[in-house]
Each structure stands twice: as C-alpha cells, then as structure tokens.
Amino acid sequence: MSVKILLVDDHELIRQGIRALLERHPGFEIIGEAGDGRSAVQQAIELKPDVIVLDIELPDIDGIEVTRQIVDNNSPAKILALSIHSERGIVSKTFACGALGYILKDSALEELIKAIETVVSEEKYLSPSLIDVVLNDHEANIPSTRKADTSKLTPRELEILKFIAEGYSSKEIAFTLNLSAKTVDAHRHTIMSKLDIHNIADLTRFAVRERLVDL
C-alpha cells in the first residue's frame, strides 16, 4: 500500500520539484498540495494523508501553528516539517506541537525519503545536521538519575541503543541484526525502562553523552 502524502509549501516550483522527485518512489502517492496554512489544515482533514511534508514558513499561518491545528483536529497524519531554519527554538517548538520529523530543505532526496518512511512508522526523525542543536537544548535538564548507567544494559541492548541514536528505524535495525521488528521494539521498551528515558531525543542525548555514538 502506498504512503499517501500531502505537500505544503507556498512556492509552487518547490512543490512541483518535490512532487516530481517523490513520485519516482514506487511506495509514495502525492494526493494533494497546499500553498498556505489554512488550506493545509483543511486538506489534512478532507484527504486524510499518511504524511504531511510541511514547510514551516507559510504566508498566513506558520507551519508550527498548522501542526498544532492538525494535531488538535485528531488527524492521523504524521507531520514532517521541511524548513531552511535550524534554530533550536524553532525545531523544539515544531516537535512540541506534534510533528514527528524535522528536515532541512537542503537535504538530499535520500534523506527526505528516509524521513518520510521513518515518520510513517510513527518514529521521530531529525536531520543529522540538527542533532547537535537538539542536544544543546536543555541537555543539562536531563535528571542526574538518568546520567547513565550503561551497565544496566545487555550487549544486545547497547547495540540497539546505538542504532536508535544514529536514527535507524525499528525495521532497519531488525533487518541489520536479523531480528523481527517486534523484538527490536521490545528491546527499545526495555532500554527506556532501564534508563528511565522515555523518548528518542533523550535516548540520543544519552548515547552521545556516553560516547556510544558520534555526532
């Protein structure tokens, strides 16, 4: 089954370019386009896309507010923000309003495809070049009880934690380690429970701070 995508950008040429690139992917179907925030909210409700690729800068309502309105309308769509902005505050607000992914506009097509596939699987995606921005955001506010006892983790859990922190999805980890996706999800749940960390962003911070992965 194809992933149904709604494209939102106020520049028609950019929408057409993204559409042309994504339509080459056999698993994607572009079901609509919007050039402003109000249209984006309306089409999200009417078309019921799986993923909304959403520009943050729009002429009427900014993408952060659009994200909030779509989430408040209980839309099942997964929102992937597409932006030129790498500022910590904008990235944080976008995720706080309910987006599952944030990718920069200068990213390669391969990264955009990976981001779409990640968020449609209900996992968060952040452009690798933004990881250091997120890590610097309130890093000191992670409770000291989380400051890490990697001895709690088994070798397999450490291995999976590294993959998670590097941005791999459960399906990709499962394929690489010859496991089922359900097994990977079970390990992830156990890792979070042992470390008392309950989201991917904090897991990534933890892994980088403990030098399990490099930025």
List where CATH 1.10.10.10 sits in the chain. Answer: 140-209
Q: What is the pLDDT of residue 136?
A: 58
Taking Cα atoms as reference points, which of 83, 38, 42, 45 lies closest to residue 61? 38
Residue-wise DSSP of 22-33? HTTSTTEEEEEE
Work out the pLDDT band at 145, boundaries 50, 70, 90.
Answer: very low
Residue 151: count other Cβ atoms within 10 Å of its Cβ. 6
Q: How many angstroms separate the Cα of 25 from the Cα of each of 2, 5, 81? A: 10, 12, 20
Distance CA 85, CA 95 (A): 14
Task: Kindly report the CATH number that applies to the domain delimited by 3-135.
Answer: 3.40.50.2300
Token readout for 86 is 């790498």
Contact 49, 15 (CB under 8 A): no
Residue-wise pLDDT for 64-96, tens only, equals 999 999 998 888 899 999 998 888 778 888 888
Q: Estimate to the nearest angstrom the gap between the alpha carbon of 78 and the chain centroid.
A: 9
Contact (CB, 8 A) for 61 and 81: no
Q: Where in the chain is the domain with CATH 3.40.50.2300?
A: 3-135
pLDDT, tens digit (0-9, with 9 covering 90-100), for 12-71: 999 999 999 999 999 999 999 999 999 999 999 999 999 999 999 998 889 999 999 999
The model scores a pTM over 0.95 = no
List beta partners, residue 82: 55, 103
If one looks up domain 140-209 in CATH, what number appears? 1.10.10.10
Handedness of CA 49, 55, 57, 58 (dihedral sign): negative
Please, are residues 93 and 116 in contact by the beta-carbon 8 Å criterion?
no
Give the 3-state secondary structure of residue 125: strand
